[in-house]
Amino acid sequence: MSGDELGFVHEAFESGWIAPLGPQVDAFERETSDYIGRPQALALSSGTAALHLGLRLLGVETGDVVLCSSLTFIASVSPVTFMGAKPYFVDSDEDTWNMSPRALERAIDDLSSKGIKPKAAIVAELYGQAPKWDELMPIFDRHDIPVLEDSAEALGADYDGRKCGTFGRYSVLSYNGNKIITTSGGGMLLLDDVESREKAFFWATQARDKAPWYQHSEIGYNYRMSNVLAAIGRGQMLHLDERVEAKRAVYKRYEKAFSDIPGIALMPEAKKGRSSMWLTSITVDPDETGTTAMDIWKALGDENIESRPVWKPMHLQPVFEGCGYASHDDGISVGDRLFENGLCLPSGTSMTEQQQDRVIETVKKALKR
């Protein structure tokens, strides 16, 4: 927290607007829209809620197939099941760790051979980084597959001069407590047209019909953000760019520290992208280092330093057993390898250089064992 949040929260209390909706929500939407560069924004209770509404706007229904990034958090995918649809998972590429254009082509070919056309695609921007949008979008366009862009981890990042959150038909942000800025909980749906926003707003407010009584012709949800949380978000937005710079500085220090160690590699930055470096992640080659990512994870834990394996790919999750999966190539699953060898290191913007040095030294000691 920067302290600027308190001024906006005070405004919210002074206005009497506490519950969902209110002037802070309106301002938060407007300021986010201006920052990202999209005409419309809708503040919601979570990024998951935004994904759910985005899928509904895309017309996803029971029995449909939705292409999804496999190497991501489950919240990127679970809304597909809310719609009664089925995910089909797509592998990562080596260059970005995000959806592989090659694997995407393989997924579409496989589904086409079975007479199935994907209804939509959810493309996650992993750990603050965009995928190769210039290669992915022509494939989606050629097959007329609309994209829901999951920018939950990539607020403040860009690709080829465009902000993350501007590539999909609809795009999603998250303000969960672990994100680069937070409202403690919340999300945003980014759109281009007023009609779609009004429909999403209708669903997000319990789908109440225009009538003097409570009348409902469709099922809706309680998905709106509170005025108080929006006030916190406004204060956080003032410091977004400096937090991105702080995250990137953390990455650069890790990069320098591990640059001369064979077998340790950081998640690469896309050639045309500028990552927010939401989380700095490394891969550990056990053949070169003589140790594993989990050995380092344990060594850090023994020093009371929290680290985590990279996301377990969705195609390996028990809950999605039986769903389709297209790997980058025959017998080569990039996501499986990254999960086996990957580790997310402490990357908080409030972490001091001395604290980061402690992480680095613990990793180096683990490699000497």
Residue 136 structure tokens:
């992915």
Mean pLDDT value across residues 114-121 = 98
Q: Which residues contact 359 (CB under 8 A, 6 or more apart)?
A: 300, 305, 345, 346
Handedness of CA 285, 287, 289, 294 (dihedral sign): positive
Residue 333 structure tokens:
């699953």
Q: Residue 1 above 70 pLDDT?
A: no
Q: How would residue 20 be classed by pLDDT, with cut points 50, 70 and 90?
A: confident
Q: Residue 8 above 90 pLDDT?
A: no
Cα–Cα distance for residue pair 281/266, rounded to 1 Å: 6
Residue 39 structure tokens:
């005409």
CA distances from 47 to 51, 105, 134, 155, 186 (A): 6, 28, 25, 12, 6
Q: Residue 369 above 70 pLDDT?
A: no
CA distances from 242 to 181, 208, 249, 321 (A): 11, 41, 10, 41
Q: Residue 346 above 80 pLDDT?
A: yes
Q: How would residue 2 be classed by pLDDT, with cut points 50, 70 and 90?
A: low
Q: What is the pLDDT of residue 4?
A: 78
* Torsion angle of C-alpha atoms 362, 366, 367, 368, degrees rounded to 10: 100
Q: Residue 7 above 80 pLDDT?
A: no
Q: Residue 40 above 90 pLDDT?
A: yes
Q: What is the mean pLDDT of the chain?
A: 95
Q: What is the pLDDT of residues 141-200, one digit of tens each?
A: 999 999 999 999 999 999 999 999 999 999 999 999 889 888 989 999 999 999 999 999
What SS3 state is found at 53?
helix
Q: What is the pLDDT of residue 111?
A: 98
CB atoms near residue 51 (< 10 Å):
29
Lowest mean pLDDT segment, chosen from 2-11, 252-261, 284-293: 2-11
- CA 298 vs. chain centroid, Å, equals 27
Residue 68 structure tokens:
């999804």
Cα–Cα distance for residue pair 95/272, rounded to 1 Å: 11
Q: What is the pLDDT of residues 69-87, one digit of tens each?
A: 999 999 999 999 999 999 9
Mean pLDDT value across residues 204-232 = 94
* Torsion angle of C-alpha atoms 333, 142, 123, 29, degrees rounded to 10: 170
* 164 phi/psi in degrees, rounded to 5: -60, 135
